[in-house]
């Protein structure tokens, strides 16, 4: 019986000691995958000063609302439009564009212009299967006016979907990684 | 705790000294009756377990008597057409001993008072075992439980299912796996219980709060998963299951070998399950395969007065999550809901891709008992390790890095002293201790959904049961103390340490009134509590599957509940009826409250929900009615109804099961008595599910699906050769191949339920 008693106390002691010494602090996770900044740079094809649209949400989903800044575009002008993605944390900025380019065959950007008469869009890059990606594009503004530009990045979609375009892309499956709408002024 | 242990040890020492031999003049007597009809069973064999000596037979009145000098004797009763029953009897009084007939196995049985220990005598119970269990085991634990009235199923597509007891689920119910509190990540609506139903020989649901005995979280009910008893007779026995199902081309093989040698009873069990993509009437559901491998080992040394047992089980599953339900934002969700069939098409395949879950659950249990004339000591220690890895569709070759990787370690220690068993005043006192740590495996590259935390909890309880001729009364009280330490990083990656202390008193009072031999009335009022779950305290961000931003609050208080359950049982030769009703009040009910604004993220705007507290009320009723007009025909009617309200905001609560009713007609075929084929039957059943109209439309993404009627068939027979039996069964689920959606499936926004499923099952006892 003495052994049983010693055993029980030993068990109790072990459990208490174990529970105490295991309490290590967790390690912070580096969220390498998340994108919280998108820059859209409009450079006139004929040269001249570029215009930048910016979406930035440094504290991620929730928290403070994101900032969206835009500048007016000139009417009847063709622009080279390039997209840059990054993860911003404090003063650090990690580029994420290359990650999308590496997996170009699993990704595609779509550009929804409203009203459609505001400007035109065509892709200026492609993946290894010669299907568009959308990090580089050409957009040509029409008459002056106001509207919006919605940029959607789809991941794991069926890029072989027949007639895939800026209006029917939802039917190609996959899911949305980015969905940002910028107000656009053409003057 | 130290004091309690000293007390416990002192008692053991005292009892040891007092053990002396008494003069031998005892008489062990009983009356064997049919568990359903309460009619005496004549000619049943009664044999003492200890010496395996001469067998007696019961007389015309079902009575028998043995001479013996022990205070308790273990006997085994056997009779053709009935299941063998083992009883431990005190000397000097005549007990009524029910035998369960083998033919009446249509679905659930209600356990009668003789089989129920203290603490459950006045509660509403339902059990499933044998043939009814074999029929549903292959579908997983939740679906097995869902065949009982009052229990429904919450699904996440075809691969994840959780039991709902009288409207409550997840952390508001408790599962006891072989007597140990199942500690997994129950808070997740898409986290199924990590238990292999093939391990169990019986599943019992306590449809009432049982917090006094089991502690926190037993608010809505308790599920008891019980493996068969270890053998106490020499020899080796085995049980083999082989099942195949057409939908998902599922195959299951399960085997169990048990034996008894040199005083040690043992059992080893292994289950392997594999299934592929599930088919709805019109299309395959992409990535809905499951691969499961489970095993358990047990060994025990059992004497009449003392014994000990060791049990180990491992559950291991790898399951796919329907690809079409994986969405990136609200627009994706709305598009998925508006398309009549999933955008992601698929063919049949066994391959499991991301998104998927890989879950392992290990359980080690060591328990023992020591019986003395004054009372019985029981203790058990349990260790559980739950590892949950969830793999998501990720960028940059990160598919093999889990998005969530949680390790939950739990130690439990329970000690119980029971006295006065079989006397007018039966008492039970107990202590429960728990140590738990939840650790995120670093390196997921994603902020943990729930933080690292450590829980130390202790509780003590006392239950008294007073038995008179026509009634039993029960009362119990419990005190719980729970400490939780949390270490997590806030949004700015600053380490934060928080400590919370919860304490609570729970109580129960109830009575069972045996109006006459056929009619019993039970009523119980029980309180229960639940501390807030880690996700309710610390969620902070996007819940992908739900397309919502969810925010926890670490100022949440414990939920407090009172549940009143009532049941009326009627048993005659031909009819058995159980009507159960309940009313429950939950103070500080934690729920996801929708906020007025939406929040913009890089994936677009999302609705925002905060975990808040309100007061809720649930009420409902369920019934089971069985009528057997002749040996050939049986009918069974069942129904379940739950009503739930958020009292503070006068609104309906979400995820409350709609009203359901089912009707079964069964034909038993009589075969020549000399034939080795026995118990052939065929049954057709019809399940009606109403539309859930009691919902808040603006809080849901889509209106609740329409009601539906399902037709199911099953039939079976068995072949007996000496002690060996082979059960053969065949069933068809969704006979009409109906395309329908169910309100209780969280994937109802995306796809139909599964179509027709043909299932063949074989069970062999050697």
Q: Write the DSSP assignment of A62-120 as a string of letters.
A: SSSPPEEE--PBPTT-EEEEEEEEEEEETTEEEE-HHHHHHTGGGEEEEEEEESTTSEE
Quickly state the pLDDT bin for B559 (edges 50, 70, 90). very high
Out of B344, B493, B540, name the one closest to residue A173 (CB): B344
Q: How far apart are CA B221 and CA B507, in angstroms?
A: 15
Distance from CA of A12 to the nearest CA of B (A): 9
Put simply, the answer to whether A179 touches B1 (Cβ < 8 Å) is no
pLDDT of residue B165: 94
Nearest CA in chain B to A96: B396
d(CA B464, CA B670): 47
A4 reaches B (C-beta below 8 A) = yes
Q: Check: pTM over 0.95? Answer yes or no.
A: no
Closest CA in chain B for residue A27? B442
Residue with tokens 């100022």: B555
Cβ burial of A32 (10 Å; 0-12, 13-18, 19+) is middle
Q: Is the pLDDT of residue B331 over 90?
A: no
Mean pLDDT of chain B: 87
Give SS3 for B55: coil
pLDDT beyond 90 at B491: no
**Between the CA of residue A139 and those of A97, B457, B704, what are the distances in Å?**
20, 64, 44
Structural tokens at position B350:
């066994």
- Average pLDDT for residues B747-761, to the nearest whole number? 93
A16 pLDDT band (50/70/90 cuts)? Answer: low
Burial of B319 per CB tally in 10 Å (0-12, 13-18, 19+): buried
Residue B17, pLDDT above cutoff 60: no
Buried b (16+ CB within 10 A) or exposed e, B197-229: bbbbebbbbbbbbbbbbbbbbbbbbbbbbbbbe
Query: A22 to chain B: which residues are within 8 Å by CB?
Result: 437, 454
pLDDT at B630 over 70: yes
Question: Distance of CA B763 to CAs B238, B256, B315, B553, Å?
Answer: 11, 11, 21, 50
Question: Interior CA angle at B482 toward B168 and B365, to 5°?
Answer: 75
Name the residue of chain A whose CA is nearest to B15's CA: A1
Cross-chain Cβ contact B328/A155 below 8 Å: yes
Please name the residue that has the structure tokens 């109802």. Answer: B748
pLDDT tens column, B82-94: 777 778 777 777 7
What does the DSSP assignment read for B408-450? EEEEEEEEEEEE-TTSSEEEEEEEEEEEEEEEEPS--SS--SS
Least CA distance to B446: which residue of chain A? A31
3-state secondary structure of B2: helix
Q: Note whether A20 contacts B: Cβ–Cβ < 8 A.
A: no
- B761, containing H or E segment: strand B757-765
* pLDDT at B3 (0 to 100): 44
Q: Identify the H or E element spanning B661.
A: strand B660-669
B331, B493, B551 member nearest A62 (Cβ) = B551
Does B701 score more than 90 pLDDT? no
Tens-digit pLDDT profile for residues B405-462: 999 999 999 999 999 887 889 899 999 999 999 999 999 988 888 899 999 999 999 9
Q: Check CB contact under 8 Å for B456 and A4.
A: no
Query: How far A47 CA sits from the closest chain B CA (Å)?
Result: 31
Per cent of chain B over pLDDT 70 is 92
Residues 6+ apart with CB under 8 A from B438: B406, B407, B408, B409, B450, B451, B452, B453, B454, B534
Tell me the pLDDT tens digit for each residue of B61-79: 888 887 776 666 778 888 7
Could you give the dihedral angle defined by the CA atoms of residues B156, B169, B184 and B377, in that order, rounded to the nearest 10 degrees? -150
Instruction: Give the closest residue to B103 by CA, choosing from B766, B716, B764, B569.
Output: B716
**Separation of first and last alpha carbons in chain A:** 94
Judged against a pLDDT cut of 80, whether residue B501 lies above it is answered with yes
Question: What average pLDDT does this structure show over B487-496?
Answer: 87
Q: Compute the average pLDDT of residues B216-237.
A: 88
H or E element in which residue A13 lies: helix A2-21
Contact between B529 and B503 (Cβ < 8 Å): no
Which among A33, A57, A103 is the nearest to B602, CB-wise? A57
| Average pLDDT for B635-650 | 94
Substitution target from B11, B327, B328, B482 for chain A, most A beta carbons within 10 A: B328
Q: What is the arithmetic mean of pLDDT over B460-480?
A: 91
Residue partners of B532: CB distance under 8 A and separation at least 6? B556, B557, B558, B559, B590, B611
Task: Note whether B9 contacts A5, CB cutoff 8 Å.
Answer: yes
Give how far Cα B542 sits from Cα of A61, A179, B39, B398, B750, Å.
7, 15, 61, 19, 19
Residue of B nearest to A85 (CA): B602
pLDDT at A3: 53
Q: What share of chain B in percent tops pLDDT 90?
A: 55
Interface contact A99-B542, CB threshold 8 A: no
Tokens standing for residue B359? 């879950």
- Between B295-304, B421-430, B562-571, the lowest mean confidence (pLDDT) is in B421-430
Other Cβ atoms closer than 10 A to B234: 11
Say whether B343 and A180 touch across the interface (CB within 8 A): no
Cβ neighbors of A161 (< 8 A, separation 6 or more) are A168, A171, A172, A173
Q: CA neighbours within 13 Å on the CB side: how many for B756?
A: 10
Dihedral pair phi/psi, residue B115, rounded to 5°: -90, -10
A102 contact residues in B (CB cutoff 8 A) = 396
SS3 (DSSP) at B501:
strand
Contact criterion met (CB < 8 Å) for B332 and A32: no
Distance CA B108, CA B94 (A): 28
Which region holds residue B332: left if phi is over 0, alpha if psi is between -120 and 50, else beta?
alpha
- Give pLDDT, residue B545: 67
C-alpha span between B160 and A180 (Å, rounded): 34
Q: How many Cβ contacts (< 8 angstroms) between chains A and B?
A: 141
How far B347 CA sits from the closest chain A CA (Å)?
16
Q: How far apart are CA B235 and CA B21, in angstroms?
A: 32
60-79 in chain A: CB under 8 A from chain B? 60-63, 65-66
The whole-angstrom separation of Cα B509 and Cα B568 is 17
Q: Considering only CA atoms, which of B247, B254, B252, B202 is closest in space to residue B223?
A: B202
Residue B603 and residue A179: Cβ atoms within 8 Å?
Answer: yes
Mean pLDDT of B499-509: 92
Q: What is the pLDDT of residue B712?
A: 96
Quick check: A100 and B395 CB within 8 A?
Answer: yes
φ, ψ of residue B380 in degrees (nearest 5): -150, 145
Nearest residue in A to B329, CA atom: A176
Interface confidence (ipTM) of the complex: 0.84
Q: What is the predicted pLDDT for the residue at B134?
A: 86
Residue B324 has pLDDT above 90, yes or no: no
Phi, psi of B249 (to 5 degrees): 40, 55
Q: How many residues does chain A have?
A: 187
Record: contact A31-B445, CB cut-off 8 A: yes
**Closest to B393 (Cβ–Cβ): which among A23, A156, A172?**
A156
The pLDDT score that the predictor gives to residue B5 is 44
Is residue B17 helix, strand or coil? helix
* Domains identified in chain B and CATH numbers: 2-99 (2.60.40.1120), 113-765 (2.40.170.20)
Looking at residue B15, what is its pLDDT? 38
pLDDT score recorded for residue B20? 39
Q: Which residues of A touch B2 (CB under 8 A)?
A: 12
Min Cα distance B614 → chain A (Å) is 24
A175 and B331 in contact by Cβ < 8 A? no
- Residue B724 pLDDT > 50: yes
Element (H, E) at B239: strand B235-245
Q: Is the pLDDT of residue B644 over 90?
A: yes
Which of B415, B602, B603, B609 should be substituted to probe chain A, the one whose Cβ sees the most A Cβ atoms within 10 Å?
B602
Residue B14, pLDDT score: 39
The answer, yes or no, to whether residue B246 has pLDDT greater than 90, is: yes
* B248, pLDDT greater than 50: yes
List, in sequence order, the alpha helices (H) in B19-92: none
CA-nearest residue of chain A to B413?
A12
pLDDT in tens, B115-170: 346 767 778 888 887 778 888 888 899 999 998 888 999 998 889 999 999 999 99
Residue A105 at interface with chain B, using a CB cutoff of 8 Å: no
Q: Which residues contact A34 (CB under 8 A, 6 or more apart)?
A: A60, A87
CA distance A30 to chain B (A): 5
B356-371 and B306-320 beta bridge pairing = antiparallel
Closest A-chain CA to B435: A19
Strand partners, A86: A37, A95
User: Which H helix or E strand runs over B87?
Assistant: strand B85-90
Contact A35 B602 (CB under 8 A): yes
What is the phi-psi region of residue A156: left when phi exceeds 0, alpha when psi lies from -120 to 50, beta otherwise? left
Could you read off the pLDDT of A58-111 as tens digits, one per residue?
887 777 889 999 999 999 999 999 999 999 887 888 899 999 999 999 999 999
Give CA A95 to chain center in angstroms: 11
Q: Specify the pLDDT at position A5.
A: 60
In a 3-state reduction of DSSP, which class is residue B653? coil
Contact between B457 and B434 under an 8 Å Cβ cutoff? The reply is yes
Task: Say yes or no: A26 contacts chain B, CB-CB below 8 A.
Answer: yes
Which chain B residues touch A99 with a CB distance below 8 Å? 395-396
List beta partners, residue B128: B203
Dig out the tokens for B425 from the structure: 């005043």
Largest Cα separation within chain A, whole Å, is: 96
CA-based nearest residue in chain A for residue B438: A23
CA distance B442 to chain A (A): 6
Q: Could you give all domains of chain A from N- to C-terminal order, each with its CATH number?
A: 37-186 (2.60.40)
Q: What is the pLDDT of residues B308-319, one digit of tens each?
A: 999 999 999 999
User: Is the pLDDT assigned to residue B625 strictly greater than 70?
Assistant: yes
- At B4 the pLDDT is 45
Q: Which long-range contacts (CB under 8 A, 24 or more apart) does B2-11 make?
A: B2/A12, B4/B415, B4/B431, B4/B460, B5/A8, B5/A9, B5/A12, B8/B377, B8/B415, B8/B417, B9/A1, B9/A4, B9/A5, B9/A8, B11/B377, B11/B417
């Amino acid at each position: 019986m003495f052994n049983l008693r010693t055993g029980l106390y030993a068990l109790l002691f072990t459990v208490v000691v174990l529970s105490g010494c295991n309490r290590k602090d967790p390690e912070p996770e580096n969220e390498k995958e998340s994108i919280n900044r998108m820059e859209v740079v409009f450079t006139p094809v004929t040269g001249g000063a570029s215009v930048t649209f910016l979406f930035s949400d440094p504290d991620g989903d929730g928290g403070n609302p994101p900032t969206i800044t835009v500048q007016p575009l000139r009417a009847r002008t063709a622009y080279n439009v390039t997209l840059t993605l990054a993860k911003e944390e404090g003063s650090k900025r990690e580029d994420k564009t290359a990650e999308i380019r590496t997996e170009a065959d699993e990704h595609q950007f779509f550009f929804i212009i409203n009203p459609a008469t505001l400007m035109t869009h065509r892709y200026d890059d492609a993946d290894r299967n010669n299907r568009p990606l959308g990090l580089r594009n050409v957009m040509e503004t029409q008459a002056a006016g106001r509207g919006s530009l919605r940029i959607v990045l789809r991941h794991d979609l069926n890029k072989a979907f027949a007639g895939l375009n800026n209006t029917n892309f939802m039917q190609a499956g996959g899911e949305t990684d980015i969905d940002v709408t910028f107000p656009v002024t053409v003057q | 705790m130290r004091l309690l242990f000293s007390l416990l040890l002192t008692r053991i020492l005292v009892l040891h000294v007092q053990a002396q031999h008494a003069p031998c003049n005892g008489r062990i007597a009983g009356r064997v009756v049919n568990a359903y009809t309460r009619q005496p069973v004549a000619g049943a064999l009664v044999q003492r377990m200890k010496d395996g000596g001469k067998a007696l037979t019961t007389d015309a009145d079902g009575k028998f008597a043995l001479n013996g000098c022990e205070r308790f004797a273990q006997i085994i009763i056997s009779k053709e057409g009935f299941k063998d029953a083992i009883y431990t009897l005190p000397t000097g009084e005549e007990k009524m001993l029910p035998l369960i007939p083998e033919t009446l196995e249509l679905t659930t049985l209600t356990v009668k008072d003789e089989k129920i220990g203290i603490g459950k005598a006045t509660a509403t119970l339902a059990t499933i075992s044998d043939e009814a269990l074999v029929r549903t085991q292959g579908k997983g634990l939740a679906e097995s439980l869902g065949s009982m009235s009052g229990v429904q199923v919450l699904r996440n597509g075809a691969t994840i299912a959780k039991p709902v007891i009288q409207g409550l689920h997840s952390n508001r119910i408790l599962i006891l796996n072989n007597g140990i509190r199942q500690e997994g990540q129950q808070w997740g609506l898409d986290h199924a219980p990590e238990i292999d139903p093939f391990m169990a020989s019986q599943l019992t649901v306590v449809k009432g709060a049982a917090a006094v005995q089991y502690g926190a979280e037993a608010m809505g009910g308790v599920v008891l998963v019980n493996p068969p008893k270890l053998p106490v007779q020499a020899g080796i026995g085995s049980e083999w299951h082989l099942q195949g199902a057409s939908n998902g081309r599922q195959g299951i093989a399960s085997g169990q070998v048990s034996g008894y040698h040199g005083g040690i009873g043992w059992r080893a069990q292994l289950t392997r399950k594999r299934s592929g993509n599930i088919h709805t009437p019109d299309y395959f559901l992409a990535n809905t395969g499951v691969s499961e491998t489970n095993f358990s080992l047990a060994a025990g040394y059992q004497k009449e007065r003392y014994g000990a047992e060791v049990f180990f089980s491992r559950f291991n599953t790898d399951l796919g999550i329907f690809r079409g339900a994986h969405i990136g934002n609200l627009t994706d969700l709305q598009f998925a809901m508006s398309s009549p069939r999933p955008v992601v098409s698929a063919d049949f395949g066994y391959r499991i891709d991301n998104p998927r879950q890989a879950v392992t659950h290990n359980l080690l249990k060591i328990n023992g008992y020591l019986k003395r004339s004054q009372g019985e000591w029981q203790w058990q220690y349990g260790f559980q390790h739950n590892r949950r890895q969830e793999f998501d569709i990720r960028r940059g070759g990160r598919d093999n890095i889990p998005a969530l990787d949680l390790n939950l370690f739990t130690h439990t220690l329970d000690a119980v002293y029971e006295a006065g068993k079989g006397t007018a005043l039966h008492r039970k006192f107990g202590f429960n201790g728990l140590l738990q740590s939840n650790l995120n495996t670093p390196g997921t590259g994603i902020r943990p959904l729930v933080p690292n935390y450590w829980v130390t909890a202790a509780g003590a309880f006392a239950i008294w049961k007073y038995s008179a001729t026509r009634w039993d009364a029960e009362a119990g009280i419990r005190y719980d103390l729970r400490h939780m330490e949390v270490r997590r990083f806030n949004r700015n990656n600053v380490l934060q340490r928080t400590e919370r202390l919860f304490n609570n008193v729970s109580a129960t009072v109830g009575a069972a009134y045996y109006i006459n031999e056929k009619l019993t009335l039970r009523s119980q009022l029980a309180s229960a509590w639940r501390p807030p779950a880690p996700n309710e305290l610390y969620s902070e961000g996007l819940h992908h599957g739900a397309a919502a931003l969810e925010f926890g609050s670490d100022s949440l208080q414990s939920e407090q509940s009172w549940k009143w359950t009532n049941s009326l049982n009627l048993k005659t030769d031909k009819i058995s009826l159980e009507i159960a009703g309940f009313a429950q009040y939950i103070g500080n009910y934690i729920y996801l409250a929708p906020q007025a604004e939406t929040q913009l993220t890089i994936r677009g705007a999302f609705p925002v929900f905060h975990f808040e507290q309100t007061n809720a009320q649930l009420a409902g009723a369920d019934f089971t009615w069985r009528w057997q007009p002749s040996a050939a025909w049986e009918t069974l009617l069942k129904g379940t109804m739950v009503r739930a309200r958020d009292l503070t905001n006068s609104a309906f609560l979400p995820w409350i099961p709609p009203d359901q009713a089912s009707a079964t007609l069964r034909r038993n075929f009589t075969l020549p008595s000399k034939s080795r084929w026995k118990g052939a039957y065929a049954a057709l059943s019809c399940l009606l599910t109403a539309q859930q109209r009691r919902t808040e439309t603006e809080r849901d993404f889509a209106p609740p699906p329409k009601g539906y009627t399902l037709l199911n068939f099953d039939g079976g027979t068995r072949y007996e050769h000496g002690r060996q039996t082979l059960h053969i069964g065949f069933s068809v689920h969704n006979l009409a191949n109906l395309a329908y959606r169910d309100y209780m499936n969280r994937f109802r926004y995306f796809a139909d339920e599964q179509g027709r499923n043909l299932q063949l099952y074989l069970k062999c006892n050697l």
